[in-house]
Amino acid sequence: MRTLKGMRVAVLAADGFEQVELTRPVKRLEREGAQVTIVSLHKGRIRGMNLLVPGKKVRVDATLREVKAADFDALLLPGGFMNPDFLRQSALALDFVRDADLLDLPIAVICHGPWLLASAGLLEGRHLTSWPGIRNDLENAGAHWTDEPVVRDGNWVSSRGPHDLLAFEHAFVQLFAERMTPAIAQREATAPSWPKWVAGGLAAVATLGLVARGRKALA
């Protein structure tokens, strides 16, 4: 059973994300039926890392200038050394996670990902875990840090790193499933199920129609 069928999940990441902390959760989300969107600072592709070794690139589906937190039902924040550091320097990224939390979207965060939540001013009084190396940073930002594979606090679930991925995946699927609403299910039930080639053809026809009308207006 696909427990997250129709749920729209944003994966907010930048260059330097820890490869397995993005690819494995994304595969799990898609297996559960979620619609995953990779959101980043720029268009094109972003480079993953395997600790200190460059990994594969992942295609960006939308930039932070093109979408907002309200467009989604849940948020995933992978870690990596550089990824959250790039994101925490972006006003758009900080606003995105603040809005997601304000909307009470379920948020799954792992490894160094909580750095972004700290810079967004969201950690005061919250319970979470992370990569042990950033414990002091999170506690200094007001968080209650625990050395556990998974910590659940309201609409958040957090984990320490790649070695906890199995527990992390189980926990965020459970959290996201709890937030499935009749509106999400209804949206999925009423969405047209066109084959991709048909959808692409319809989009092309619509584009040609717009171009034709534009030329007529200019004539």
- Per the CB < 8 A criterion, the answer to whether 44 and 76 are in contact is no
Task: Give the burial class of 187: count Cβ atoms within 10 A of its Cβ; 0-12 exposed, 13-18 middle, 19 or more buried.
Answer: middle
Coil, helix or strand at residue 71: helix
- Per the CB < 8 A criterion, the answer to whether 116 and 94 are in contact is yes
- Helix or strand (DSSP H, E) at 166: helix 165-178
Name residue, tokens 């171009």. Answer: 211
Catalytic residue among 112, 127, 144, 170: 112
Residues 141, 147, 153: CA angle, nearest 5 degrees: 60
What is the phi/psi pair of residue 161, to 5°?
175, -170
Annotation marks residue 144 as catalytic? no
Q: Any idea which residues carry the catalytic annotation?
A: 112
